[in-house]
């Protein structure tokens, strides 16, 4: 029994079967082009850096052939803060593994929020921001994921205002009473 893999579609978005590797009749070396495990002690420090933090790449184009995402780790030492920077058009997600993060952002870093282990932080494109280790005795350890395979970092020279305005995140779907 043969299956016809040609379908008529009047919309123009990619389907999984449009990918050549998704065709069951095409041989793919899945050992070479399949799942990759990157050991935590084999990350690559040769990535864009910002003063005050140490980034290491796990997932990118060069290491695993990633087309659409970048992932790695960030460490910020006790009482340290990073230089102010943004990530161009990229979206960033930061997951706190250990320690306490204080994020400052805005044209003059006038906003602030904190996050701890298990928390996620979302940084939209072009937002000037600074990561701060809010602990004086514990290294802040985070996992970082970006929406492109290149680690775009634009370091900025911004003079922060002193007392940032605290911002508590409220889920827009479940407004607080």
Where residue 28 falls among pLDDT bands split at 50, 70, 90? confident
Query: 52 versus 103: which is more confidently predicted?
Result: 103
Where residue 152 falls among pLDDT bands split at 50, 70, 90? confident
Q: How many CA within 13 A on the CB side of residue 30?
A: 7
Give the tens place of pLDDT for each residue, 105-134. 999 999 999 999 999 999 999 999 999 999
Tell me 98's DSSP state.
E
Separation between Cα atoms, residue 153 and residue 167, nearest integer Å:
24
Q: How many CA within 13 A on the CB side of residue 103?
A: 24
Does domain 43-166 fall into CATH 3.40.50.620?
Answer: no
Residues 17-24 have a mean pLDDT of: 60
Alpha-carbon torsion 75, 78, 80, 85, what sign?
Answer: positive
Separation between Cα atoms, residue 133 and residue 75, nearest integer Å:
9
Give the tens place of pLDDT for each residue, 34-76. 899 999 989 998 888 877 788 899 999 888 999 999 999 999 9
Query: 117 versus 149: which is more confidently predicted?
Result: 117
Model pLDDT, residue 58: 94
Give the tens place of pLDDT for each residue, 74-96. 999 988 888 889 999 999 999 99
Domain extents for the chain?
A: 43-166
Assess contact for 151 and 118: CB atoms under 8 A. Answer: no
Assess contact for 89 and 139: CB atoms under 8 A. Answer: no
For every residue of 104-140, DSSP letters joined together read EESTTS-EEEEE-TT-EEEE-TT--EEEEE--SSS-E
pTM for the full predicted model: 0.73
């Amino acid at each position: 029994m043969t299956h016809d893999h040609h379908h008529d579609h009047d919309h123009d978005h990619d389907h999984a079967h449009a990918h050549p590797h998704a065709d069951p009749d095409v041989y793919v070396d899945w050992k070479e082009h399949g799942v990759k495990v990157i050991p935590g002690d084999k990350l690559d420090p040769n990535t864009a850096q910002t003063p005050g933090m140490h980034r290491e790449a796990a997932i990118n184009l060069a290491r695993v052939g990633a087309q659409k995402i970048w992932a790695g780790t960030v460490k910020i030492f006790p009482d340290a803060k990073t230089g102010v920077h943004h990530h161009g058009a990229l979206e960033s997600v930061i997951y706190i593994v250990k320690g306490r993060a204080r994020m400052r952002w805005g044209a003059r870093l006038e906003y602030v929020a904190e996050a701890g282990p298990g928390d996620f932080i979302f940084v939209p494109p072009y937002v000037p921001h600074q990561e701060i280790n809010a602990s004086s005795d514990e290294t802040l350890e985070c996992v970082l994921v970006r929406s492109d395979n290149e680690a775009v970092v634009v370091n900025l020279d911004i003079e922060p205002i002193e007392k940032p305005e605290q911002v508590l995140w409220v889920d827009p779907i479940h407004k607080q009473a």
